[in-house]
Structure formats: C-alpha cells, structure tokens
Structure 1
Amino acid sequence: MAAEDPLVRRRRGPSMADVARLAGVSGQTVSRVANDRHNVDAVTRDRVRAAMRELGYRPNGAARALRNGEFRSIGAIVFELSSFGTTRTLDAIAKAATMSGYSLNLLPVLDVSQRAVTNAFSRLGEQAVDGVIILIEAHTLDEAGVQLPDGLPVVVVDSSAHYDYPIVDTDQAQGARLATEHLLELGHRTVWHLGGPPTSFAADRRRQSWEQTLLDHGREVPPVHDGDWTASSGYDAGRALAANADVTAVFVANDQMALGLLRALYERGRAVPGDVSVVGFDDMEEAAHFWPPLTTVRQSFAEVGRHSVDALISEIQAGEHHHSPVSVATELVVRGSTAPPRT
C-alpha cells in the first residue's frame, strides 16, 4: 500500500491517527487526551501532547461538543444595534462571555415579529449555541405578540419581565428618581422631562418614575416632550423647552438627547445651569466633556453584561429555568449642568 503523500496530509491538516502513530499509542488514547479524560497515565499523556504540538494538531471542538453536549457558545439576538445602550450592553456581554470561556454569536433582527425572532432562534440553533441572550426591549416584543420558542436557555435584557425567563435590567426607576429628586432638592419648583420613544420599556420606566417622584413631592407634573434617543431629536424637542420661560430644570432620558437640548438652550440664550439645569441618563464617556459637563445617571453596562452571562450559564448548567430577576443599581453623577434656580 503506497504511503500517503505528505503534501496531502499538510493540506488537510494532521489527524488523530497521525498523532497516534507519532506517539505510538492507539487512536482511543489520543481521543481520551484530547477530551481531558483522566484514565491516561501522566507519561503517556505527555507523549501524546508532545506529538500534538509537533504536528500542530488541534482537537475538533465541534465534534467534542457533540459528544459532551456543550458547545461553549452563546447566541445574542439584537434589534437596533446602533443604539448606545445596546452597543454598550453587547460589548459587556461579549467581554463577560469571553472571560467565562464562551464565544458569542451575534444575530441582528431587522424587524421584531414572531417570524423574525423564531427564525433567529432557528439560525442560532444551527450554529450550535448553548443558550441565547435577547436584547430587544419588551414593549417591542409585546406589541409584536412574540412568543419565545422553547428548547434553549434564554435570558432577556432590558425587559418588562413579562416572559418566563431570567430578566436582567438596570434599575430604571431608581435612576429617574435620583435625577428628579436632585433637581427638586436644588430648589426647582418642578422638573420637566424630555423622554425617549414611548415604545421603549426603558423610556417608559424612566417617565413613570419621574412622574411618580413629582407626585410624591406634591409637585406639578408638566407635559412630556418625547425624542427618539438621538441628539437631533433632543434638539428638536429642546427648542420648545428652551422657549418656555417656566422651564428651569429638565430631566432627559439619555445623554445624547441632553446634548441636543444643551444646543437648543444655548441658541435661545438660556444659560446652563444659570437659567436651566439639565440632568441626563447613561453617563456616556463624552458626558463629562459636554459644556457644561453633564450631571447624569450612571448605569453599569458592565454589571448588566456580567449578570446576563452569569444567569445564562446557570440556566445552561442547571438545565432548568430560574426566574429571579436581577436589577442593577444606578448612581447619580453630579457635574456642572445643575444648580439652584435663580432667585
């Protein structure tokens, strides 16, 4: 029988049989070493590993995963990938997954519908993931009537907790309360609100908490001005706020819209914080470099990402659902955009 052409072996890569021949052991022994089994003596194990290194052999991770029933891979279904909160949360999830020894498969969906989410689950199943993290705001899922498929462990991020899966979210209500109370404690009669899109769960929770905080303090609740998270929408809504002499304090649902509001106030000749105090939400890196530096609510995307991955790995390992929600605390960061009202 003719010997195999070395060029052919190099082209296809070294096989388990090549390692076995070089190490002088059986293919079963090589398999045991590749799968970290303990029924191989230390001397033989070292000889097999030396042969693997010499040949450049790497065990087939996919085949090993099929045998062990674990792929060490997490899927993420995402809508509106361009939004600041989504990108920061996804970055945190990727880092937490890597530190836990998992890879991350990202699957954006172009629309939130039962068909789109079901297809996303199917595609991730074909990619052999152990579980899925969903970054789609709950109002969007609810309005689309989406029912999440069974068969994979799931964690939902930024959700109203209407699903029978683990929920991880920033404490939106706490952050809005901190922002509103800060402005009231400075002496402002009431606080106006520049909110996010009504379809957003996060925006809705911040809006509700702002309103309830004013009611709890016996203050008037002004009409809400809505934006869409962008600086341009903050500018558009901010022009109406800037034109209203009654406005002395504004809680904005995110920092990007706060930036647009600052421009609108500047163009109207209203000083910040001399005439109007402004508080944002997120504490994006640029917020400290706005002029004036922005007082804002800091949410920990790193903590949200870590808790999401930890919750999903617990689901994967336990093989059953654990439904306790995780709420990540916020922090008020006071900078130069807030002050007592003029007397």
Structure 2
Amino acid sequence: MSDQATRNGRQRPSIYDVAKVAGVSHMTVSRVLNGHPNIRESTRERVLHAIDEMNYTPSSIARALATRRAMRIGVVVDSPVQYGPNSTLRALESAAREAGYAISAYSVSDEEGQQIDAGVVELVTQGVDALCVIAPRESSLDLLRQQSGGLPTLVIKSEPHPEMHTAGVDQRDGAIMAVSHLIELGHRSIAHLAGPLDWFDARARAQGWREALAAAGLPEASLVVGDWTSDCGYDFGTSFDFAETTAVFASNDQMALGLVHGLADRGLRVPEDVSVVGFDDLPDARHFLPPLTTVKQDFAALGALALRSIIAAIEGESTEEHELIEPSLVVRASSAAPRR
C-alpha cells in the first residue's frame, strides 16, 4: 500500500509505516512514543514529523508488540451493583482507554465472596500486566494476597495497606466534612446509619463520624449498621427513636433516600424535624425531596490516579504507596439548623 493511500485514511497507519517513513526501526518509534531518554534529538524529531504527517495514533496492539506487554489491566470488582464500585470501574476504564490500555473485569457479588480468588486466577491466566481491586472487603484482600502471582497490584481503598499499593477517595475526611457541617448548623445529637462494617469505606466513614463528634466535644449518638440499600434506610427511618436525635449522617445516598421516605411516612419532615446528610452524590441526589446534602466523590480523578499508579508499577517506576483524592461537601436542602 502506498504512503499516499495511508495518509488518505483508507487504512490506519501502523507503527511499521511510521518507522518506514522516518527511516528507523519500529522499536525506535516505540521508544519515542514512550518518552525514552536515550534517543538522538534529530531522530526524535524525524519520528515525530512522520507521526504528524501520517496522523498516526498508536494502537494498543502496536504498543503491545513494541513493549512485549498485553496492554491490559485485570480488575476485580467487589459488589459491582453498588454505586461507588461501579463508578470507579467506569472511571478506570475511561482513563485506561486514554492511555492505550484495555480493562478485563471480573465481578464478585455479595453472595460470591469466595469467588474472588477464582477471578484473580482467571485474570492472571489471561496475561494481564497488572491487577486492580475495587471496593474490597477484608476477605477480598486475604484472598488476593494468595493469588496475585507477583503482578503489580493496586487496591482501591482509602486506608494504606502494609503490603500493597493503594489509592482512593479520603472516606474519613468526607465523613468529617458531613458531620462537621451538621455540628456547625447547631446539631448536638447526630446518629450514624453506617454501611456494612466489613467494608473498608464504611469503617472509615464511621471513624470520621466519631472523630468529628469528639473534636466538637459531643458524645457519640447511636450508630446503626445498615446494608447500603434504600430499604434499610426506610426501615431505620420508620423505627428509630428520634426523641433526642436531630440529624443523621447516612453512609451512602441510597440509605439516605430510604431514610427520608421513612421519616415522611411517620410524619417527620426533612430538614425541619430531622436533617439528613448522605455520601456519594448520586446523579439523582439533587432531585430527592428535599434535595440531598451529601459528600461528592470525584471518580474521574480517582480513575486517573489509579491508572497512573498502575502504569508506574508496570514500568518499574517508584511511586507513592498510598495516594488519596479529597472529597467535597455539596450542601442542599436536606440539612438545616435544628428547630427543637
């Protein structure tokens, strides 16, 4: 095929086409693409000129051939139906596409906790370059350590781990933001509807609730362990004794949604009688009645951070063993000063 035909777009130019036009080997083109320092400046300019002339975009296949890598990251997603794990996976996939990597995902539901080891084995046998685990529980990490086969591995969690690289959104700090907001409004009895405490995120959010109360000199109010669902929030809203409690920090927006519903069914108003703050900032949170005050997680930033850490580990570069994204508080109409 002629160079002119390639440039006219009838076939996507390959790394070999670029090498031919530049008069170098395809390995030299690969080194230029990957920013290798040991390339003569004149050679680099010739390759870059050929890339620009041919409108070449490096494909994952070409990059894999040049680097002898699969250009694929294996991701184990624990409880993928939940908003946080699902959003993290989608953000990681988007960041990976931008970097020329593909994602192979293996999902483990709440009822299949023991299958995480099978998932890791399946991904490893596919020849992935690295592993990532999203939203792990304690049991997830125990099984992961046994099966990772020495591959670079990143765990999405907000607390550091002595044996693995970790990255996450600062769950504890987000909870402190939520509870401090309620304290600043004047609330003195703030209950916490927690997520399942075998989840690292749920434990970190509960810890942030405790620390914010302690910093304000307030006693711990009630902590009730939920299961992340709206039904659980509804049951809490219809059955909990709110005689002293004027505010609730719910560990996710879905439980907050059910809580608001339950309170309405028993004749309590939000925020006039009880203020409610959630966590996640679901896309629909601003359309709750009333619109929900909540903690926003920047999943796009988390996906980009996780991918940078994984690629650095693949390439043998030193990197921080634990990195965090800061959340932010979104104040809406579900929180207000107490009226009793």
TM-score, normalised with respect to structure 1: 0.78
Change (3 A) 1:155 1:184: same
Decide whether the 8 Å contact of 1:165 with 1:322 is kept in 2: no
Distance 2:178 2:211 in 1: 13
CA RMSD of superposed structures (Å): 2.8
**Which amino acid counterpart does residue 228 of structure 2 have in structure 1?**
W
**Counterpart for residue 326 of structure 1:** 323
Change (3 A) 1:143 1:264: farther
Q: Say yes or no: does 1:105 pair with 2:97.
A: no
**Counterpart for residue 180 of structure 2:** 181
Q: Say yes or no: does 1:210 pair with 2:190.
A: no
**Which amino acid counterpart does residue 164 of structure 1 have in structure 2?**
E
Q: 1:274 aligns to what SS in structure 2?
A: coil
**Counterpart for residue 40 of structure 1:** 20
**Counterpart for residue 77 of structure 1:** 76
Distance 1:85 1:61 in 2: 28
Decide whether the 8 Å contact of 1:192 with 1:222 is kept in 2: yes
**Which amino acid counterpart does residue 229 of structure 2 have in structure 1?**
T
Query: Percent identity of the aligned residues?
Result: 37
**Count of aligned pairs:** 297
1:94-136 C-alpha deviation (Å, 9 max, x unpaired): 11111111111111235334xx444333322332322111114
Distance 1:207 1:41 in 2: 60
**Counterpart for residue 340 of structure 1:** 337
Change (3 A) 1:245 1:125: same
Structure 1: runs of 5 or more not aligned: 1-18, 24-32, 46-58
**Counterpart for residue 230 of structure 2:** 231
Decide whether the 8 Å contact of 1:281 with 1:297 is kept in 2: yes
1:132-161 C-alpha deviation (Å, 9 max, x unpaired): 111142423256685352332211112543
- TM-fit CA distance, 1:190: 2.2
- TM-fit CA distance, 1:222: 1.3
Decide whether the 8 Å contact of 1:88 with 1:301 is kept in 2: yes
1:35-63 C-alpha deviation (Å, 9 max, x unpaired): 43876355999xxxxxxxxxxxxx99769
**Counterpart for residue 290 of structure 1:** 288
Change (3 A) 1:127 1:148: closer
- TM-fit CA distance, 1:316: 1.1
**Counterpart for residue 261 of structure 2:** 263
Q: Say yes or no: does 1:245 pair with 2:246.
A: no
Decide whether the 8 Å contact of 1:226 with 1:237 is kept in 2: no
Change (3 A) 1:61 1:275: closer
**Counterpart for residue 276 of structure 2:** 278
Decide whether the 8 Å contact of 1:139 with 1:160 is kept in 2: no
Distance 1:159 1:218 in 2: 26
- TM-fit CA distance, 1:250: 0.7
Distance 2:24 2:319 in 1: 43
Structure 2: runs of 5 or more not aligned: 4-12, 26-57
Distance 1:277 1:158 in 2: 29
**Counterpart for residue 28 of structure 2:** none
- TM-fit CA distance, 1:324: 2.3
Q: 1:120 aligns to what SS in structure 2?
A: helix
TM-score, normalised with respect to structure 2: 0.79
**Counterpart for residue 197 of structure 2:** 198
**Which amino acid counterpart does residue 272 of structure 1 have in structure 2?**
V
Q: 2:284 aligns to what SS in structure 1?
A: helix
Change (3 A) 1:126 1:66: farther
Distance 1:117 1:232 in 2: 27
Decide whether the 8 Å contact of 2:121 with 2:148 is kept in 1: no
Q: 1:271 aligns to what SS in structure 2?
A: coil
Q: 1:281 aligns to what SS in structure 2?
A: coil
Structure label with greater radius of gyration: 1
